[in-house]
Amino acid sequence: MSEKRKAEHTGDVAELIESTIGQRLDEVTARDPSHPAIVVPHQSVRWSYAEFNAAVDKFAAGLLKIGIESGDRVGIWSPNRIEWVLTQFATAKIGAIMVCINPAYRLYELEYALNKVSCKALVTAEQFKSSRYLDMLTELAPELRTSEPGSLQSKKLPHLRTVIRMGEDKTPGMLNFDNVMDLSGEKELNEVASIGKRLNADDAINIQFTSGTTGAPKGATLSHKGILNNAHFAGVTMRISPADKLCIPVPLYHCFGMVVGTLMCVSHGATMVLPAEAFEPEATLKAVSEERCTALHGVPTMFFAELDSPNFQIYDLSSLRTGAIGGSSCPMNLMKRLISEMGLNEIVIIYGQTECSPINAMTTIDDPLQKRVSTVGRAHLNWEQKIIRADGSTVDVGEQGEICSRGYGVMQGYWGDDAQTHETIDEDGFLHSGDLGEMDEEGYVKVTGRIKDMIIRGGENVYPREVEDFLCTHPDIAEAQVFGIPDEKYGEQVCAWVKVRSNSKLTQECVTSFCNGQITHFKIPKHIKFVDEYPMTVTGKMQKFKMRDKTIDELLG
């Protein structure tokens, strides 16, 4: 009897970029300074690489002038704006570590994030939707009202010294973004260039807080080499070149936006297009049409919203060819519509974790349709993947286990949290994702669920993804999210939140009847709730803990 093949795969090897992010921007600018770098329609920005790089240098020099040094943490709290991108590249030029703050954070979360990594400065927008950032900051640090800008001494935010606000209005205790750009002179600009030559590609340059769907967010610390190479090789797979214009409606604070978005463009000399501060289907379609974008990123819910826009037909999307889908798997019906209605014949699926900078697997533009909807691709360039059992041994092909990855982009660690770091990265350098998956004979990985999402009902393991996939075979069910809730008799019971198609008359009894005899009895949802929408993170990840909490509250009545 032949031995079963183990579920492990190594991607192709390619030469790593040893430059820093700032050095790469300088190289690309020198190659073609007049090439379009960035377009931000909602701010009337249209800059060449020469103009963009000059603005980056000015802000970097301004940061030096106000006392920011290499290694200092600089937070950015803003929706998608030109200031966000300038902060991203300016901090990289001087070796300051940019800390991405979720635009949806409220007071408690903001205080936690700023203090966790000891932010010395914070670049902030005025507001985002219902969040009035400046008011929230002043509530956290009332000392701002009487503080000299750059000299904050706050009880609740003891490390924060400087707040840099966007916009023209003046706020006590804060500097204005444009004024910081104008502070510097030739001395500081020369210093930016000098520092850039001394920086190392292995230096920490970015802290990304994990989504925090359970527990307190953790700050994944990433390097120049990790995120620059990840951006570059994602672009290689998608065949990105200076001829491409990428529309980026995904949030910049997340790796999808700032690595697979802006940094991928800069790595290849392509053009960045930011259609709006936050995702808007119409603004995205308009930007693609008017700017003749060749690539478009998004999570499935974004693409559905674009396709279902009432004005979809008026936009000319014929320039599109590629893009990336992240956040969750892509249903077959969506993939077919993206190809037939949007012309995205070369769209790819990306998979990874923030802790991997973020991509460790993806499909290619040549992969067959079935592979692009049933898998997340294979180990990416310079990455290894394996799937393991609970005891650490590698599973066989087709067997379910935890997805683990190793490569150049694995984080340096969680900032200030060695214990969590060692729990996540093993002695061999493999990062344990917490995702369950299977690998086929060719190395393609199918994500089947989350270890933490597993429901244990009466001693039986129930994997929510399996139940969700089955429920979605019902013709009236558009989407389903399955999770466990506490139960006195069984330990946990299976609960499902179901989104039905329009004009459906589906009832709980219909769903239960549909399950009977088709899936094992202990997998059939005990509690079913019909909903119009799900609570999600800004990046499109389902927040099942919120569904769980709400369901428990309703049952307790």
Residue spans of alpha helices (H) in 258-388: 264-268, 281-291, 300-307, 332-342, 369-374
Are 467 and 453 in contact, with CB atoms under 8 Å apart? no
For residue 488, pLDDT over 70 is answered with yes
Tens of pLDDT, residues 141-153 = 999 999 999 999 9
Domains and CATH numbers, the chain: 48-209 (3.40.50.980), 455-556 (3.30.300.30)
Return all residues near 213 (Cβ < 8 A) that are at least 6 apart. 537, 541, 543, 544, 545
Residues 229-241 pLDDT 10s: 999 999 999 999 9
Least confident piece of the model among 1-5, 169-173, 234-238, 307-311 = 1-5
pLDDT digits (tens, 9 = 90+) for 289-337: 999 999 999 988 899 899 999 999 999 999 999 999 986 678 888 999 9
Mean residue pLDDT across the chain: 94
Predicted confidence (pLDDT) at residue 82 exceeds the cutoff of 70: yes
> Tokens in use for 339?
């190809």
Helices (H), ranges, 21-164: 21-31, 49-65, 82-94, 107-116, 133-140
Each residue's pLDDT tens digit, 344-365: 999 999 999 999 999 999 999 9
pLDDT at 214 (0 to 100) = 41
Contact partners, residue 333, CB within 8 Å, separation at least 6: none
pLDDT at 505 exceeding the cut of 50: yes
- In this prediction, residue 1 has a pLDDT band, given cuts at 50, 70 and 90, of very low
Is 0.85 surpassed by the pTM of this model?
A: yes
